[in-house]
Amino acid sequence: MYNLLRILGVYKYSITFWFLLFSSVLLLLNNNSFLKSYYFNSSNMIAGKVLSSRNSIINYFNLKSKNHQLLEENRYLIEKYMNLDSIKIFEIDSLENRYKLISAVVINNSINKKKNYITLNIGSIHGIEEGMGVITRNGIVGKIKYVSGNFSTLISLLNTKYFVSTLIKKTNTLSSINWNGDNPDQTKLLYVPKHVKVEVGDSIMTSSYNSIYPKGILIGTIQSINKYINSNFYDIDIKLFQNFYNLSTVYVVLDTQKNEKILLELKNTNAR
């Protein structure tokens, strides 16, 4: 026993090194651990506070461009309002009932990594839950991943592990978009079979299949199409409408009929 303790004493430095190395590898590989989701991400109390105070300083420098942005958004909404007559009334009604928006400010954002995350200044107190979609007027931003009391982090569209179900507007073809990690302005459009006719400039919008985003939010346009690859699908690049460099205010989508839809679909799978 004494010898064992002596050996441990001699090698205590190496043992500590290996212990810490092993624990950090465990932390790194175990992506969905309890620790990570509750304490060690940027939506926790301390990091959130620091990031939001940093953001409040930076905000002063952006006031002018932000005012401009809000003005543009107002203009767009007023335009929509004025043109309401031309749209069927019942569609608008059902849309109003189903989706509600919660506005939020981005307090931390990155675009230079392969797996980017964004932090928002609102959390479960404000009614945010995991799995909600986040949009702006220019398209989609991502999906809420972790929520704390006052803050929440979301998995950005610029994350190589994030797929969004989409439709090509012209032909209503179901497809998915996924970022390949290179250019923050572009994503790939996946699973478009070669018999479907697509053209450069076609709009891509969200489908309503995953009940995260409302149907019909425009995401981007097709920038280039490569037919000559060894696959049944096209290789398509999309130019995004949303500029992730200057993301400041976003809206979280609250789908009031989400639970109803999921419960109904669950019944289906149970019956099978």
Partner 1 sequence: MRGNFTLFIILIFMQIFVLNKILFFDYILISPYLLVLILYPYYKDSILNLFIWFTLGILLDIFNDSLGLYALISIIIIYFKNLWVLKIIGNDKANEITLLSIFNLGKLNFFNYSFPVIILYYLLIIIFEFNDFFSFYNFLTLTLSSVSTYFFMVLIQYLFLKSDQENEWR
**Is 112 among the residues that bind partner 1 (CB under 8 A)?**
yes
Give whichever of 40 and 209 is closer to partner 1, judged by the CB atom.
40
Stretch that binds partner 1, among 45-53, 64-72, 136-144, 261-269 (CB under 8 A): 45-53
Question: Rounded to whole angstroms, how far apart are CA atoms 97 and 82?
Answer: 20
Question: Rounded to whole angstroms, how far apart are CA atoms 69 and 76?
Answer: 11
Give whichever of 35 and 229 is closer to partner 1, judged by the CB atom.
35
Match 């932000």 to its residue by tokens. 66
| Smallest separation (angstroms) from partner 1 to the CB of 24 | 4
Of these, 5, 28, 82, 263, which contacts partner 1 (CB under 8 A)?
Answer: 28
- The amino acid sitting at 28 is L
Collect all residues with Cβ–Cβ distance below 8 Å to 63 and sequence separation of at least 6.
none
Given a contact cutoff of 8 angstroms between Cβ atoms, the answer to whether 102 and 251 are in contact is yes
Question: Rounded to whole angstroms, how far apart are CA atoms 36 and 40?
Answer: 5
**Is 223 among the residues that bind partner 1 (CB under 8 A)?**
no
**Binding string, residues 135-174; x marks residues near partner 1 by CB under 8 A:** ------------------x------x--------------
Question: Rounded to whole angstroms, how far apart are CA atoms 254 and 246?
Answer: 24
- 218 dihedral zone (left: phi>0; alpha: psi -120 to 50; beta): beta
Give whichever of 121 and 211 is closer to partner 1, judged by the CB atom.
121
**Strand 235-240 and strand 218-226: pairing?**
antiparallel
| Smallest separation (angstroms) from partner 1 to the CB of 151 | 12
Stretch that binds partner 1, among 41-49, 69-77, 194-202, 224-232 (CB under 8 A): 41-49
Paired tokens of 56: 């409040």
**Is 248 among the residues that bind partner 1 (CB under 8 A)?**
no
**Is 53 among the residues that bind partner 1 (CB under 8 A)?**
no
Question: Rounded to whole angstroms, how far apart are CA atoms 166 and 217?
Answer: 9
Neighbour-count burial of 122, counting CB atoms closer than 10 A to its CB (0-12 exposed, 13-18 middle, 19+ buried): buried
Residues near partner 1 (CB under 8 A), total: 34
**Is 78 among the residues that bind partner 1 (CB under 8 A)?**
no
**Is 6 among the residues that bind partner 1 (CB under 8 A)?**
no
Given a contact cutoff of 8 angstroms between Cβ atoms, the answer to whether 245 and 116 are in contact is no
Give whichever of 31 and 172 is closer to partner 1, judged by the CB atom.
31
Q: Which residues of the chain form contacts with partner 1 (CB under 8 A)?
A: 12-13, 16-17, 20-21, 24-29, 35-36, 40-42, 44, 46-47, 50-51, 54, 108-110, 112-115, 117, 153, 160, 181
